[in-house]
């Protein structure tokens, strides 16, 4: 079991510990439960879907990186597939506050990068801030997305974001988590560049058309790719680097052990990720970034 889970695991009910221990003990535990695993854990514990998501929040929060706030937030996203995806807030010393990731953003992006088609609900241990409410409003789930909070009745995103402004107000039909392929090609054939290209082709940038994707290689040799997730309100947009860091962190890797990175962008982008990506990677100890313009 990854050491970050030890304390949180000890607080779980005995039946849940028994059900989860074989999953958490895997070296490659991906901070998610498949629909089949959810069914098995529910059968062993007697928990329903909502109760299980709440019970998993301490494990999700244990994935947080908080050198600035020391405030741990966990989130669990439930996909329409039945899969459950962990999310946790992430902060990076030596960078601007704009580089941080909120737990809800983490869970949503985690599900998106794992191939989930749509979300049914988000369970979180603290009320979503306005930034996260606006970020989630970009989803193809829309304002019907269910939000679960401790000691509160279930409410929809629409309840938390009345009079919302979103993609439909700008006549955007392709929403976050819809399947897309922008059709870019690349001469490079190395795996890192190809994974960055795939991420770029699946990125969500309907407002600027500044599609971008990144791939990070860690010192262990594993590769994690992230896609740009643009937002109708612009500021809640999530850069591709943050998407890759979410997947890297939730997979149990160390954000301070990135060996090299490839960033791929649309030619002459209205929104460029290069400078912010480079400065954040330098703060994380990675100086090898190859920026490719298609």
List the catalytic residues: 104
Asked if residue 89 lies in contact with residue 73, where contact means CB atoms within 8 angstroms, the answer is: yes
- Smallest Cα–Cα separation from 121: which of 48, 227, 179? 48
Query: What is the rounded distance in angstroms from the CA atom of residue 253 to the CA atom of residue 221?
Result: 11
Burial letters 14-40, b for 16+ CB under 10 A, else e: eebeebbeebbeeeebbbbbeeebbee
Asked if residue 203 lies in contact with residue 214, where contact means CB atoms within 8 angstroms, the answer is: no
Query: What is the rounded distance in angstroms from the CA atom of residue 167 to the CA atom of residue 161?
Result: 14
Specify the DSSP class assigned to residue 129. Answer: P
Token code pair at residue 15: 């039946």
For CA atoms 33, 36, 38, 44, give the dihedral sign.
negative
Ranges of H-type helices in the chain: 6-10, 14-24, 35-45, 49-61, 103-113, 130-136, 157-160, 191-201, 240-250, 274-283
Specify the DSSP class assigned to residue 258. Answer: E
Q: How far is C-alpha 128 from the geometric centre of its chain's CA atoms? A: 15
Locate tokens 């069914």: which residue?
39
């Amino acid at each position: 079991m990854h050491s970050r889970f030890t304390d949180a695991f000890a607080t779980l009910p005995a039946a849940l510990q028994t059900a989860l221990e074989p999953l958490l003990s895997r070296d490659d535990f991906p901070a998610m439960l498949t629909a089949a695993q959810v069914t098995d854990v529910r059968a062993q514990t007697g928990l329903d879907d909502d109760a299980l998501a709440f019970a998993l929040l301490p494990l999700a929060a244990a994935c947080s990186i908080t050198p600035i706030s020391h405030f741990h937030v966990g989130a669990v996203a439930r996909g329409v597939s039945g899969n459950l995806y962990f999310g946790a807030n992430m902060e990076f010393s030596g960078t601007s506050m704009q580089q941080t990731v909120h737990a809800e953003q983490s869970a949503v992006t985690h599900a998106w990068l794992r191939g989930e088609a749509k979300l049914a609900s988000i369970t979180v241990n603290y009320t979503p801030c306005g930034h996260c409410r606006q970020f989630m409003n970009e989803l193809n789930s829309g304002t019907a997305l269910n939000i679960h909070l401790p000691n509160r009745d279930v409410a929809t995103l629409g309840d938390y974001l009345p009079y919302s402004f979103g993609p439909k107000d700008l006549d955007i039909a392709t929403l976050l988590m819809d399947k897309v392929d922008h059709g870019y090609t690349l001469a490079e054939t190395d795996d890192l560049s190809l994974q960055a290209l795939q991420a770029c082709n699946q990125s969500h940038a309907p407002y600027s058309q500044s599609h971008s994707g990144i791939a990070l290689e860690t010192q262990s040799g594993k590769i994690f790719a992230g896609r740009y997730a643009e937002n109708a309100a612009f500021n809640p947009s999530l850069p591709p680097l943050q998407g890759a860091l979410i997947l890297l962190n939730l997979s149990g890797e160390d954000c301070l052990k990135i060996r090299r990175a490839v960033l791929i962008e649309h030619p002459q982008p209205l929104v460029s990720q290069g400078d912010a990506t480079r400065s954040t990677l330098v703060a994380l100890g990675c100086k090898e970034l190859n920026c490719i313009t298609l």
